[in-house]
Amino acid sequence: MNAPAPKVTLAAADYRPQVDLLCHHFLSGHVLYLAHAHGKGYFRDQGLFVNFSRTNHSPKVIDALERDIFKIGLATTTTFLRSIAKWVADGNESKDYPLAMVYQADQSFSSAFYSLTNDYREQIGLPTYPKDVTTFEDLIGKIVRPGGGTPTEMFYLLAHQYGLLSRVNPSIEKNGFDPDKINLTEVEEYDVKTYSNLMIAGQLDVYSKPSFGHGQFLGRAKTTNSGLTHASFSTLQAGLPTVYGVGVVVRKDFAIDHADMLRAFLLAIDKAMPECITDHMYAVRVMNEMRGFGREYDEIEGIKGAITAGKHPEITGGYGFYESDDTKQHGFGCIRDDKVQFLIDSLGKAGRLPASISLRDVCMDFAWH
């Protein structure tokens, strides 16, 4: 007679629904709240398994969501507004645009223009400029890479403000170099050091990115490039106020059909917000462990995270990226009509919207609190 089969205790299956989040870049000091929520288990506590995917810059995030390849992503508000305008310009009804912004993570975004100082250029054998690049006019005759989302739009807002739109060469790859213009390049950034490597190689003069970019240069000066010095000027210094930056964009059908998943995701990152502002290094250590990076990136991302979290008001102009006067009253992630309208008006005046759009086209009434 056969012995009875032993009793086996079955492990409970993990049936947490998976949220595939498409990020506008790799996890960095810019999105502390994601790494913080992941490391603390806040997504798990909300019953979610969140998978982080990445691409290069916000336009690709919006494209992937429009094509229904992803349901949710991080993208800049300026890119989102331009995408709605393109949808309308292509002959579609604005009410049929499939995406909406539901959480404005960056409340007080600014960007900056970075370059190597003449002293350092001379030290490494590069030709020097007439002066260090410290004003918008100094970009004339230079090769410039504006960041792919809001930094690009802020570049064009400044070009309009300074009356220099006619002196922008939009693509050095297509049009060649013009010494009398600001020459934009389309070279991509695939890691945190691409642009600074191009600078050191003498292939790029200036790049703009969110104003936490100081971290890249200060971090390199402390690690791999002793003595490196950089020049910079911010959009604040050039006369632009802070604007909305990266936010959570979703497909409207996902928000309707899976409201519980979206609500859980937003609650998790919202819980992480005040904590990552207080302790930015926790998220930095989590993200660098996820990416397999070492001490050099603890320096680079640590400084970036500190700036984003508001530890350097001399750079950000007061608040860090995630806070504003509005968040004190309305909470993190709030979306205010006047701030959105300012961006719509500013982009329109600079010729960056191919069609007129209105506030009602931007957000959807999604009660997640």
* Residue 14 binned pLDDT confidence (cut-offs 50, 70, 90): low
Q: What is the pTM assigned to this prediction?
A: 0.89
pLDDT, mean of residues 261-281: 97
Which sequence spans correspond to the domains of the chain? 18-108+243-300+322-361, 111-234
Does 192 score more than 70 pLDDT?
no
User: Does 111-234 match 18-108+243-300+322-361 at the fold level?
Assistant: yes
The token pair at 165 is 């739109």
Q: Is the pLDDT of residue 8 over 60?
A: no
155-171 residue pLDDT tens: 999 999 999 999 999 99
Helix-, strand-, coil-residue percentages of the chain, each rounded to 5:
45, 15, 40
The string of pLDDT tens digits covering residues 50-95 is: 999 988 788 999 999 999 999 999 999 999 999 999 999 999 999 8
CA dihedral 60, 63, 64, 65 (to 10 degrees): 120
Nearest CA to 245 among 154, 337, 326? 154
369/364 Cα distance (integer angstroms): 14
How many whole angstroms separate alpha carbon 17 and alpha carbon 19? 7
If residue 250 lies in a helix (H) or strand (E), which one and from where to where? strand 246-251
Residue 234 burial (C-beta neighbours within 10 Å; 0-12, 13-18, 19+):
buried
Q: What is the pLDDT of residues 96-146, one digit of tens each?
A: 999 999 999 999 999 999 999 999 999 999 999 999 999 999 999 999 999
Top-confidence residue, 4 or 16: 16
Those residues with Cβ within 8 angstroms of residue 208's Cβ, 6 or more apart along the chain or in another chain: 111, 112, 113, 114, 144, 145, 146, 147, 151, 152, 154, 155
Q: Which residue has the higher pLDDT, 5 or 265?
A: 265
Going by C-alpha positions, the residue among 209, 207, 230 that lies closest to residue 219 is: 230
DSSP string, 194-234: HHHHHHHTTS-SEEEEEGGGHHHHHHHHHTTSTT--EEEEE
How far apart CA 228 and CA 120 sit, in angstroms, is 6
- pLDDT, tens digit, 9 for 90 and up, residues 305-347: 999 999 999 988 889 999 999 999 999 999 999 999 999 999 9
CATH topology of domain 111-234: D-Maltodextrin-Binding Protein; domain 2 (3.40.190)
Q: Is pLDDT at 247 greater than 80 in this prediction?
A: yes
- Band (368; pLDDT cuts 50, 70, 90): low
Question: What is the overall mean pLDDT for the chain?
Answer: 90
The whole-number pLDDT of residue 25 equals: 80
CATH tag for 18-108+243-300+322-361 (out of 3.20.20.140, 3.30.70.2520, 3.40.190.10, 1.10.3720.10): 3.40.190.10
| φ and ψ of 357, to 5 deg | -135, 165
Sequence-distant (≥ 6) Cβ neighbours of residue 146 within 8 angstroms = 152, 155, 184, 207, 208
Q: Are 319 and 313 in contact (CB under 8 A)?
A: yes
pLDDT score of 292 more than 70: yes
Helices assigned H by DSSP within 144-213 = 150-161, 172-175, 194-200
